[in-house]
Amino acid sequence: MDALKSIIMSPRSTKVSSTPDAVLKSASTVDDPLNGQDFSHHKQVDGLIHNELRGDATRCKVPNLLEHIFPDHALPVSVGEVYDALTAGPSPLYSAASGRWQGPNFLEAHQEVAVAELLESIAGTARRIWHENNEHAEPADKRPEPEYRRWSADFRHCSLPDATLGMDRKPDIVGLALPTVSWKSVRADVQIKCNAKLEGQIVEQLHDGALNVLSVQDTRHFHIGCGIGGESVWINYYDRSGCLRSRTANVHDEPLFFLRIVIGLSLADKIYLGYDPMVEEEIAGNRFVFVEGVKYQYVKTICHRPCIRGLATVCWLCRKVATGKHVVIKNSWKDRSRIYTEADLLRKARQAKVTGIPTVLGFEFVQHGGVRVSTAHIRQALLPKIQHTDTRELTRLVMTEYYDPLESYTSPSDFLSIVRDSVQTHKSLYDDAKILHADICDKNIVAYTDDSGKRRGALIDLNYAIDIEQERETASTGLKSAQTFFISAELLTDGQFIRHEYYHDLDSFLLVIIWVAMVYEGAEAKPRKFNVLESVAGDWMDKNKSKAGSYKQTVMGRKRPNADTFGNFLNNIIDPYFEKLKPCICDLREALYLRDSPTDHAGFIDILTKHINALDGSKASLSDDEEL
């Protein structure tokens, strides 16, 4: 008997980065028209972070983690020198005789200020020793002064600015690089409780701090947080593969362990705190990066997806120094188990003459010291006998096109035309290049103006794309983000049993149309005053994929002999500005959900064209010379 056939599927999970772009933007504004900050409440965010860090993504009691992160050569002054200075004199900060730190009582509540003062005292002593050593050093041995960082408990009762998702977060203690005072300048955070039994709460706060730092600082490879529960102290190390936690030490009994943490976080070079050594920062805020030996100057950040674990995509608009031409550089942490890079698939598509996709100008796996920047190194060094399922390597992709977002539409007709062009590109990818995009959502449909001045739609982001000519023996193991609103109901409920097909992506195009018509009320994406989570479509973004899929199927499908109430659903959620899109949405829904088999690309495009014609009052079909 033949072996039972099975399909190869990669894991997908709802994460912080699953939040739609419109909600992310709304949450960062004062008026927050979409109530995006509802997504930032602890219950919501903590659940999403849990999805990112659950299972073997988190490793506890990792041996020698602290010493690996802050080895002796990384510290500007030795732990022993600082210990000797702190234990000297009639009023030492640490009493070697009693084995106790002077200052805070770690077993009492509300010790944030006292602990911050202790950290400042230790850091100040270490800086003083460094200055003394450097002053007496030979000229060839003199070193640049360490960056000044200040430990502060000023935000224990008020929000630290620039949090991701507009989160209202009050970190107990932060190490700041002045003069900027925000999450963008946080080098490290310390979360404390007076009882070791409250460890779970401390860990949640550390997760929060890591999410904020890694989501607003676009040159950060990893983040280190320190937890103090009663008299116990440890560090959490967060990177794009998850979280590693050190052993726990008693702050009084092991002063050298505690000192290594404080000296490292206070004085070590930024590279040891996770900052990208391949990005050159010069005075006046200029930033430069090299890709394949070509120098580019940073202009601005286009997008930065919030997350701890995963691709952590950051896109920069840059200027090629040699020519002055603008390019887009996409930074992402590629899952090592995936066979192809996004650059491979884009080049394959170009060879198949697919248009409406980015043009690759350069690509590289980022290296430091001749070695790829990877989340594997620290795990292989400290946990060599454990197999790690999610290993990631930093890549940089240079593209020539700088697209406008989908939300740049100028009218309902223009919006549908952008979507139609994108579906045409999807069809060409599938038919001509044998590539299935597999990640259709609001951020991956974009617009541009062609040489004739006509507005066009395009597709970006092939990170999750599938080469359908490649027979896969095993699935990629890295966790993939699941933007539940835009994923076909069938994939959400039965994704482990069915293969991702082209019509699932067509379903996602329909869901994008519904989304835009639901959250905007005018041209160029004027946000609508609308509570997304409390709407009848709010359940489509449930953290539980199966529940989200079931809710969606209940609305989108028809359960005979019950009366079809889809019209009621549309009347409830569609903004009046998009009133005339309702017939189009109904036709697309019928073509995908209510027939014996779902429509193909041509049928989907025909429906869009029919309704574009109706909106324009003139024929708008794609002629041969207009095709993408």
How far apart CA 428 and CA 430 sit, in angstroms, is: 5
- 509 bridge partner residues: none
User: Cβ–Cβ contacts within 10 Å for residue 351, how many?
Assistant: 10
| pLDDT per residue as tens digits for the range 130-169 | 999 999 888 888 888 999 999 999 999 999 999 988 888 8
Q: Is the pLDDT of residue 189 over 50?
A: yes
List CB contacts of 385: < 8 A, sequence separation 6 or more.
none
| pLDDT per residue as tens digits for the range 455-488 | 999 999 999 999 999 865 444 555 566 789 999 9
DSSP 315-383: EEEEEETTT--EEEEEEEEEETT-SS-HHHHHHHHHHTT--SSPPEEEEEE-EETTEE-BTHHHHHHH-
| pLDDT per residue as tens digits for the range 223-262 | 999 999 999 999 999 999 999 999 999 999 999 999 999 9
pLDDT at residue 462 in the model: 97
Look up residue 458 and give its two tokens: 């395009």
Could you state, in order of their start, the residue ranges of all structural domains in the chain? 12-40+284-626, 58-273
Cβ(69)–Cβ(188) below 8 Å: no
List CB contacts of 121: < 8 A, sequence separation 6 or more.
93, 103
Query: How would CATH label the architecture of 12-40+284-626?
Result: Orthogonal Bundle (1.10)
The amino acid present at 282, given as its one-letter code, is E
How far apart CA 204 and CA 215 sit, in angstroms, is: 16
Give the rounded percent of residues in the chain with a pLDDT score beyond 90: 76
pTM of the model as a whole = 0.92
pLDDT at residue 625 in the model: 43
How far apart CA 219 and CA 298 sit, in angstroms, is: 12
pLDDT at residue 525 in the model: 86
Report the DSSP pairing between strands 186-193 and 223-229.
parallel
Q: Rounded to 5 degrees, what angle do the CA atoms 544, 419, 345 make?
A: 75
Alpha helices per DSSP H over 245-390:
255-267, 342-351, 376-382
Least confident stretch, 411-415, 540-544, 555-559: 555-559
State the average pLDDT over residues 100-129.
Answer: 98
How far apart CA 177 and CA 271 sit, in angstroms, is: 14
How far apart CA 94 and CA 98 sit, in angstroms, is: 9
Helix (H, G, I), strand (E, B) or coil at 149: strand
Report the DSSP pairing between strands 326-335 and 392-399.
antiparallel
Q: Is the pLDDT of residue 622 over 50?
A: no
Cβ(221)–Cβ(274) below 8 Å: yes
- 188 bridge partner residues: 175
Least confident stretch, 4-13, 66-75, 297-306, 401-410: 4-13
| pLDDT per residue as tens digits for the range 322-340 | 999 999 999 999 999 888 9
Cβ(611)–Cβ(526) below 8 Å: no
Look up residue 555 and give its two tokens: 């609305």
